[in-house]
Structure 1
């Protein structure tokens, strides 16, 4: 199989407790059913990212306040999505976004999306994470690389998104050997365009590659013209059944 690059028990186990990480649905006014579904008891969620307006917005949004509160009351970890712009945004701006998320939405951590991947971006990312933990020392921090970064990033965050893309790429993807040094709970995979008939194969790839947090959807990016994450997959009930019941964090 093309996605097997290691026979290490740490990455090849099929006994990993897989759960869902939600990259962020559309605004609650546009996708009320999606947000209601995510608060159902027993849904196997590791976390849900909240993106108000490409960040926290400029003032508290009552609709986002409502869904964030309902998710947290349901025991679901809520992360504020912050755009890292691949290192182009200043740390001051990133921390300002984080502060708003904490003050307005009482988030449990942050998804630093579009995070740098190379070694040169590592020192500033490390300083940003230090500042985020100074705001909230128990914050769950996910770095949204979208591909495998320099291994040094794994030492600084709770989780890394090491794949974010199309099924056509994922089914032939490979995992670098350094990932075998870390538990599956450290890695997230987001895959769009997964046909219903390939759900089990996609889950198997994630387990063999050592990613415990996943998001699989049949939605597509329509050649880069759409956000495949803004709606739940058409086979939502099936994927929930396959992943299994949720557990308290």
Structure 2
């Protein structure tokens, strides 16, 4: 399990934009290797049917900058079968040499814990050093026990400010939780680390983006830092 302090690499970046369409977003993320804990790597809402050369090159650039990659895999709230999910993880390792997995649309109920525990075991057997679950809300506490990091919030900035955090989260270090915030003002983006820490999350990310893919808009801090060329 990899553990980083929130004052070091605290950004979990869902970089859901094609490197050919917005190379500046990828360059800025690479330039911020000192603050980016992981990039969620998502060529085609998953690995796709074949490796894409532009993503292979982009992955190499991020890796050279010391930024670990998490392969995006949709679990469809537990409806996708074990073998189908594991096949996606295998493709990521073969094509892009990712360091971990980001299991999106994760379930929250205790009756699916066994399914996700098997997925976590399979991912680690395939040399995924980090298993991140994204239910987007606080799940049953058992999910925090089987994953390295759980995304306990994904949503708008207004909802994030008023988030109610269940007491069981205090049984775990803050670095076991992450928050992803969209529709954020510049002030929200600038203060996301402190807000996330108040809500017991050691990792975070905020973007002013909205709509179907808010994560196509890069966090302003990354772009400004990238322009200056300093981490």
TM, length-normalised to structure 2? 0.90
Q: Which runs of 5 or more structure 1 residues have no equivalent in the other structure?
A: 1-14
Match of residue 140 from structure 2: 150
Say whether the 8 Å CA contact 2:28–2:223 is kept in structure 1: no
More RCO (CA 8 Å, sep 6+): 1
Match of residue 111 from structure 1: 102
Match of residue 135 from structure 1: 126
Match of residue 49 from structure 1: 40
Count of residue correspondences: 223
Match among 160, 165, 169 for residue 179 of structure 1: 169
Match of residue 93 from structure 1: 84
Q: CA RMSD in A?
A: 1.9
Match of residue 213 from structure 2: 227
Deviation for aligned residue 1:166: 0.4
**Judging changes above 3 Å, is the alpha-carbon distance between structure 1 residues 198 and 99 closer, same or farther for their aligned structure 2 residues?**
closer
Say whether the 8 Å CA contact 1:25–1:230 is kept in structure 2: yes
Deviation for aligned residue 1:211: 0.9
Deviation for aligned residue 1:239: 8.3
Say whether the 8 Å CA contact 2:75–2:103 is kept in structure 1: yes
Say whether residues 1:35 and 2:26 are aligned partners: yes
The 2-side partners of 1:91 and 1:76 are apart by 28
TM, length-normalised to structure 1? 0.84
Deviation for aligned residue 1:220: 1.5
Say whether the 8 Å CA contact 2:189–2:207 is kept in structure 1: no
Q: Which runs of 5 or more structure 2 residues have no equivalent in the other structure?
A: none
Deviation for aligned residue 1:198: 3.3
**Judging changes above 3 Å, is the alpha-carbon distance between structure 1 residues 200 and 36 closer, same or farther for their aligned structure 2 residues?**
closer
The 2-side partners of 1:68 and 1:17 are apart by 25
Say whether the 8 Å CA contact 2:86–2:122 is kept in structure 1: yes
Pairs within 5 Å for 1:11-90: 16-17=6-7, 19-40=10-31, 42-90=33-81
